[in-house]
Amino acid sequence: MNQSPTIAAIPMASVIPSRIPTYLRAKGESPLKARSNYRSNYWHLLPYVRRQWRTIGQAMVCVLIFSAIWPILAAKSEVLFDAIGRGKVNQVIDLVIFAASIWAVQKVAQFGMDSLMAKAALAVSFDLRKDAFAHLQSLSLSYFEKAKTGDLSYRMTEDVDRIGEVINKLFHQFVPCILQLIGVLGFMIYRSWQLTLATLIIAPLMAVLIGWFGEQMRQLSHRSQRRVSDLSSMLVENFSGIRLIQAFAAEKYAIDLFAEEAERNRQAKYVTDKLRAIEYPVVGFLQALAFCFLFFLGVWLISQGTLKPEQFGSYCVAVSMLIDPINILASNYNEFKQGEASVDRIYELIAIEPTVMEDPQAVPLPEVSGKVEIVNVSFAYQPDRPVLRDLSLLAEPGDMIALVGSSGAGKSTLVNLLPRFYDPQDGQILIDGMDIRRVTLRSLRRQIGIVPQETTLFSGTIAQNIAFGQTEIDLDAVQEAAKIANAHQFIMQFPQGYHTWVGERGVNLSGGQRQRIAIARAVLLNPKILILDEATSALDSESEALVQEALERIMEGRTVFIIAHRLATVRSSDRILVMEKGQIIESGNHEQLLAANGRYAGFYAQQFS
């Protein structure tokens, strides 16, 4: 069996040390500080875009070819109109063949542009999502206790996808449209600067309107995305608590709450869509006015002899080539503003600093014997509400320490300080004489195992859950650990044995079975310090007996901290600490505390009277 000490049965988020995206770490900046150095939210994405420079460069070659075709077609249309007017059939056929050939080249370039930019945009989304997820893994438990799971899921999926779509459209729509506008406008100026000047008179007004609509769209998108994330959070809560909802016959209550949240989401989306519905007719009306003015001025120039009909025809073809780019640019601008809201939401996450930070000079914690010293520790979740008050204790290697007391006494808080889920405001915690603030989080947590009251299992097989965190599974070691944890027998009753799929959160297993898998997880990875947090309180008598027997096996030779309300499970402890209001008020073994006739004796009499 693998004897390397490591962590067992603790949340994945607490295993990975604090880190931020590579490009920020390389500069030595925090994400929050880095944000203030940028002029625009999209500048955050520049390092990610740079990584794809080769693919984007190839796409830009295709963009240039694609965009260069438009002015060529506009120029050839003048020759075509002239040939049609003169009845030169052969010349018309040659021009049509030329146009078809050059269109074919353009469509090949368009395919290259679209496919290459899709590849680059998806790579940017992947890198951004991976960095954001890695940063979330580094955040302290205090953040996740307040965060909404649905909101985090929405940011990591929908918001990142929207950012990827913006990157894609930036290079395969926005940039080509800009180049098309430049090329076609150049031809228009060459053909008739008078018509072009007159056409562009209305352009500033259109730009101002599009900018105003885009800014309103960004603000409304912020609100709409918050509503969607709230709705997602409600769904997560509902599905997680569906047993309670049905037990209390509260389905109608849940439906009404969901309907209220869904209505707020609908209203937020409707306001956004209504604004978009207003924008397109307004911009389209201005375009129609510009066309009317263009035809009036063109006819007048022809009547004055300064412009030929075929030249005006080619000019109109060029103008028609501007309609789609202008509409696409207006649409893109709105989407970019909506995407900017998504960038804000992602970088709000990246800007959050962990409350538990790893010392830059931290060293790996060598394999420990299990001596734990807690020296004058004080801790509070909120400044004016202390949970632990100047608490000290010493646990020698192999000691079994039980923590008892009423709810809110600080028992769970105390053991949560050992793996640095939180840091105390005052005092020190030493393991084998080393301050845990001076060692790396990974090396510390890989030597502390936790078997909690509520076991966390992940979607996967039983073997994968026992060997959680290991890239390669030693099935023989997994089976040996399961035997020690009294889990092997029930596992082998499944048709697929250790390859049985446990389902989301282990729904296919009973509470006792999940708990024994958690114990097997701890056995396999052999932690030197073991924390049992109400490990049997939620089990029936038969399951509790099996779990208790397994726990007694794995506690041998380890420093163990037991939190329990059932005093029958702690009578054999080397020392029982009675906690009250964040302090240790009694200490001794079972017989000593009964003889002292204090708080422990009162608890015992209450349970066994």
What confidence tens digit (pLDDT) does each residue in 555-593 have?
A: 777 898 988 777 777 888 889 999 988 899 988 888 888
Section 51-79 average pLDDT? 81
SS3 426: strand
Residues 505, 509, 513: CA angle, nearest 5 degrees = 110
Section 75-103 average pLDDT? 74
The larger pLDDT score, comparing residue 261 to residue 24, is at: 261
pLDDT at 202: 64
Token pair 């801790």: residue: 379
Confidence of residue 247 (pLDDT cuts 50, 70, 90): low
**Could you tell me the residue ranges of all domains in the chain?**
19-350, 372-457+531-608
Residue 191: pLDDT over 90: no
The larger pLDDT score, comparing residue 412 to residue 201, is at: 412
Q: How far is residue 247's CA from residue 242's CA, in Å, rounded to a whole number?
A: 8
CATH label, 19-350, candidates 1.20.1560.10, 1.10.3720.10, 1.10.287.610, 3.40.50.720: 1.20.1560.10
Residue 539: pLDDT over 50: yes
pLDDT at 350: 85
What is the CATH number that goes with domain 372-457+531-608? 3.40.50.300
- Give the mean pLDDT of the chain: 77
Section 68-85 average pLDDT? 72
Domains 19-350 and 372-457+531-608 share a fold: no
Residue 336: pLDDT over 50: yes
485 closest CA partner among 526, 456, 445: 526
Residue 586: phi, psi to the nearest 5? Answer: -145, 150
pLDDT at 490: 86
Model confidence, pTM = 0.67
CB within 8 A of 161, min separation 6: which ones?
Answer: 125
- Which of the listed ranges 6-15, 193-202, 380-389, 525-534 does the model predict with the highest average pLDDT? 380-389
Q: How far is residue 475's CA from residue 524's CA, in Å, rounded to a whole number?
A: 11
Residue 324: pLDDT over 70: yes
pLDDT at 314: 72
pLDDT in tens, 450-476: 887 777 787 788 888 888 877 778 888
- Which of the listed ranges 120-124, 267-271, 511-515, 605-609 does the model predict with the highest average pLDDT? 120-124
Q: How far is residue 518's CA from residue 543's CA, in Å, rounded to a whole number?
A: 14
pLDDT at 374: 92
Indicate the range of 31-45, 114-128, 588-602 predicted with least confidence.
Answer: 31-45
Q: How far is residue 206's CA from residue 279's CA, in Å, rounded to a whole number?
A: 10
Confidence of residue 5 (pLDDT cuts 50, 70, 90): very low
What's the chain's length in residues?
609
Q: How far is residue 184's CA from residue 200's CA, in Å, rounded to a whole number?
A: 13
Indicate the range of 125-134, 338-347, 400-409 predicted with least confidence.
Answer: 338-347
Residue 537: pLDDT over 90: no
Residues paired with 561 in a beta bridge: 401, 531
pLDDT at 248: 65
Residues paired with 373 in a beta bridge: 394, 430
Token pair 């299992």: residue: 457
DSSP state letters, 113-158:
HHHHHHHHHHHHHHHHHHHHHHHHHHS-HHHHTTS-HHHHHHIIII
Rg (CA), the chain: 34
The larger pLDDT score, comparing residue 609 to residue 264, is at: 264
38 alpha carbon, distance to own chain's centre: 22
Section 281-296 average pLDDT? 71
Residue 274: pLDDT over 60: yes
pLDDT at 438: 93
pLDDT at 50: 87
Section 157-178 average pLDDT? 82
Section 181-200 average pLDDT? 75
Residues 97, 100, 104: CA angle, nearest 5 degrees = 140
Which helix or strand (DSSP H or E) is residue 450 part of?
strand 448-451
Confidence of residue 376 (pLDDT cuts 50, 70, 90): very high
pLDDT at 378: 92
Q: How far is residue 180's CA from residue 211's CA, in Å, rounded to a whole number?
A: 21
pLDDT in tens, 410-432: 888 999 999 998 999 999 999 99
589 alpha carbon, distance to own chain's centre: 47
pLDDT at 431: 93
pLDDT at 56: 86
pLDDT at 429: 93
Residues paired with 391 in a beta bridge: 377
HEC sequence for 357-420: CCCCCCECCCCCCCCEEEEEEEEEEECCEEEEEEEEEEECCCCEEEEECCCCCCHHHHHHHCCC
602 alpha carbon, distance to own chain's centre: 49
Q: How far is residue 537's CA from residue 534's CA, in Å, rounded to a whole number?
A: 5
Q: Is-contact 314 73, C-beta < 8 A?
A: no
Residue 192: pLDDT over 70: yes
458 alpha carbon, distance to own chain's centre: 18
pLDDT at 436: 93
pLDDT at 306: 75
